[in-house]
Amino acid sequence: MSVNAMVFLILVAVWCFAGRFFATRPVIPEAFSRWGHILLPLVLIAIGLFILIEGGAFEL
């Protein structure tokens, strides 16, 4: 159990550092400020559809 917790915490730290790295690059925030209002809903809809399809919500 403690190995799982350690791996989880290490990978959360990796995601945090990766997010900070990309957010501090000037091109990335400019792109998100320009296209974020279009990109975010599309990503959330895609994730929702993926969950529904993989969960078998549309099977008869």
> pLDDT tens, position by position, for the chain (60 residues)?
899 999 999 999 999 999 999 889 988 888 888 988 999 999 999 999 999 999 988 886
pLDDT at position 60: 67
* pLDDT at res. 28: 83
What are the distances in angstroms from CA 49 to CA 11, 37, 40? 26, 19, 14
Alpha helix locations (H) across the chain?
2-23, 27-54
Confidence (pLDDT) at 3: 94
Closest residue by Cα to residue 32 from 22, 47, 17: 22
